[in-house]
Structure 1
């Protein structure tokens, strides 16, 4: 696929000139590319943002959503082939962090390249995962779990008409998270940065810090105020931190 061809997987925020680097943004379970819209031109004219469009929502609402993290990573590894002409940094929040990790492994294996930087937000490394399955018991449990975690998806589920549209994708994503059980972690050929909200109800800073064991090329941890969706209220601080990490150094 040539760069001039529109990708169903990627929403591009192209700058006025060819990019020095691309930043791939992977949404959380139930999330969409629109979650990262405000990031589109936040990192300078030389950083092109690519927000991932999972099937089953927004422009892809008619498509069947995926129910395995590995399948999403497989599809993205192929889709990204034309975009690897410049360094690629990856940011994944929650479920998106696991997809980012699996994607990094596939980029290494298939394209003999690694992300310039993998940023994992509010997610344990693969060998420490303890997936929650209670939310899949019934519709009420799933809605309650989304509400507990907070974020914009909870508001969508409060509207009965919107709920019917968005619930299938949310259920599929939570199924994917539940199926992505603990497995031995494979080391990455790139530096890793972990992010977490100081009051996240499900994950502690020391659990995110365990990604260091899979990052022989370097690991850093950033803790910001807030819960599981700290990146909404702390957008300015998070964007500033990422922008500094993406400053020219390659």
Structure 2
């Protein structure tokens, strides 16, 4: 594909948020949020990235301005529809950055693009997600005495005003449950690793995706792999976010 494309009539804009960034860029950075989250996670990225890297946040159904849409609970239909939506935006170099569930979605999307012989990302950046090779059928949110709500409270990242309002929390849990089901039912184990760089970001105090558990992302590619430990837990604070942004810029520049 040639030429340039910006979100317009030929792009389903429900899927993509640019948060005010305008003008051409050399590389698009598609950003995928965590389970139960939304594209607003990346609202500040346009001001942190140089002009030649355009962040495009992916918004999955079932949240924010797509709240009335049914969230996906399986990976395959999610990836099929996402490819259709993202295809017009693959007309220039691009990369993927995914957080937690978003890491797995971007990884599965990369494999699907390769299978369809479509353009591939320059690099895959994954954060706060156990490597696929570590999947053993056991999931942190299953079998808890305090249920999914306990998992949400333990992991952090959910605003206090949501946790303290039962009706708001009740509105979040169905989408979160669907998102987590996308992960637990995927069971995808590709026989051929990717051929593009993979860079991982792991919270040093993350009980779910500690750096030791993210090193196995190296098995997902035959190209270079690197890992950056980020101080903190599963959800990076502002200093951690800036560390991630700097590393991505270094890799893409």
When the two structures are superposed, what TM-score results if normalisation uses the length of structure 1? 0.89
Stretch of structure 1 that moved more, 53-62 or 179-188: 179-188
Gaps of 5+ in 1: none
**Please, which of 65, 68, 73 is the counterpart of residue 67 of structure 1?**
73
Find the aligned partners of 1:233 and 1:3 in 2 and give their Cα distance: 30
1:113 aligns with 2:124: no
Q: Aligned runs of 1:137-176 on 2, under 5 Å?
A: 140-152=146-158, 155-176=161-182
**Please, which of 70, 89, 92 is the counterpart of residue 83 of structure 1?**
89
1:26 aligns to what?
32
Query: Superposition RMSD on alpha carbons, in Å?
Result: 2.4
Q: CA deviation at 1:140?
A: 4.8
Q: Is the contact made by 1:209 and 1:221 (CA closer than 8 Å) also made in structure 2? A: yes
Q: Is the contact made by 2:133 and 2:217 (CA closer than 8 Å) also made in structure 1? A: no
Stretch of structure 1 that moved more, 67-76 or 144-153: 67-76
Stretch of structure 1 that moved more, 125-134 or 48-57: 125-134
Q: CA deviation at 1:30?
A: 0.5
3-state SS in 2 of match to 1:90? strand
When the two structures are superposed, what TM-score results if normalisation uses the length of structure 2? 0.88
Find the aligned partners of 1:138 and 1:74 in 2 and give their Cα distance: 32
2:8 aligns to what?
4
Stretch of structure 1 that moved more, 152-161 or 205-214: 152-161
2:211 aligns to what?
205
Q: CA deviation at 1:217?
A: 1.6
Gaps of 5+ in 2: none
1:230 aligns to what?
236
Find the aligned partners of 1:133 and 1:186 in 2 and give their Cα distance: 25
Residue 202 to residue 185, structure 1, CA distance change in 2 (3 Å): farther
Post-superposition Cα deviations, 1:72-101, rounded to whole Å, max 9, x if no partner, equal 222211211111111111001111111011
Q: CA deviation at 1:124?
A: 2.3
Find the aligned partners of 2:94 and 2:160 in 1 and give their Cα distance: 31
Post-superposition Cα deviations, 1:19-60, rounded to whole Å, max 9, x if no partner, equal 100011111111100111111332112221111111111110
Q: Aligned runs of 1:229-248 on 2, under 5 Å?
A: 229-247=235-253
What is the total number of aligned residue pairs between the two structures?
A: 247
Find the aligned partners of 2:20 and 2:251 in 1 and give their Cα distance: 20
**Please, which of 46, 50, 58 is the counterpart of residue 52 of structure 1?**
58
Stretch of structure 1 that moved more, 60-69 or 40-49: 40-49
Find the aligned partners of 2:148 and 2:189 in 1 and give their Cα distance: 25
